[in-house]
Amino acid sequence: MPQINSGDFRKGTKVLIDGSPFDMIEVEFRKPGKGQAMYRTKLRNLLSGKLIDVTYRSGDSLEAADVNRANGQYLYRDSNGFVFMDDETFEQDSIPIEAFEEQAKFLMEGAPCNLLYWNGQLIDVDPPQHVVLEVTFTEPAARGDTATNVTKPATVETGASVNVPAFINQGDKIKIECATGAYVERVRD
C-alpha cells in the first residue's frame, strides 16, 4: 500500500492504523518556535465509529487505506441487516441492523445511497441528503393555534416520526433531512 506523508494529511484522507481504516476529520498544522512541525489530527474509525486524537511529527507517514466509494441503492431489510446493491456491479451487500438502523428509518426501497467499501467489504452507507415521504398519520391542528413555530408529531410512510408544522395534514408529502430527521418543507405535486 502507498504511504501518505504527514505533509499530505488533509480532511477526508483515509488511512490504516493498526489494521483498521480511519477517516481524518480534522488536521491542524502546528509549528512551534523551535523543534519539528506537528500535525494534530482527529480520526474516526470507519468500522466502529470511535474517535481518536493523534499528533504526528513532520516526516511521519501512514499507510493509505484501500477505501473506495460507489453509487448504490437500498433494496430491503432482512434478519441479518440492511441490503444494498452497487449500481455498477449489481452486487448485493448488507450492513448489520445495529450499525445502520438510525439512518435507515427514512429510506424507502430503491432509495439512492453512496456506498463505502474497504477491502471489498461494505463498511458504511451515506443515505441521500433529503427524502420526500407521505404523512400517514398526524393529529389535526388545534383551532386557533396560530402561534409561530407550533409543531406536532407526524408519522411518515416508513414508520418514522417527525415533528412538522401545524398546517401539515395526513396525506401531505414532506421533505425530510435524513441526517437529522428534521422537517424541511411541504412538497406540492
What tens digit of pLDDT does each residue of 101-139 get? Answer: 777 888 899 999 999 998 888 888 888 999 999 999 998
Domains 3-64 and 67-126 share a fold: no
Mean pLDDT of 71-94: 92
What percentage of the chain has pLDDT greater than the value 70? 96
Contact (Cβ atoms closer than 8 angstroms) between residue 146 and residue 167: no
Residue 43: name the closest of 58, 18, 21 by CA.
21
Residues 6+ apart with CB under 8 A from 162: 153, 154, 155, 156, 174, 176, 181, 182, 183
**Count of CB atoms within 10 A of residue 179's CB?**
13
Cell numbers that stand for 33 in this block:
518556535
Q: Where are the domains of the chain?
A: 3-64, 67-126, 130-187
Comparing CA positions, the residue from 127, 183, 129 lying closest to residue 154 is 183
pLDDT digits (tens, 9 = 90+) for 35-67: 888 999 999 888 887 899 999 999 999 999 988
What is the sign of the dihedral through the CA atoms of 150, 154, 160 and 161? positive
pLDDT at residue 89 tops 70? yes
Query: Which pLDDT score, from 0 to 100, does residue 119 have?
Result: 87
Class of domain 130-187: mainly beta
Q: How confident is the model at residue 141 (pLDDT cuts 50, 70, 90)?
A: confident
Fold of 3-64: SH3 type barrels. (2.30.30)
* Per CATH, domain 67-126 is 2.40.160.40: no
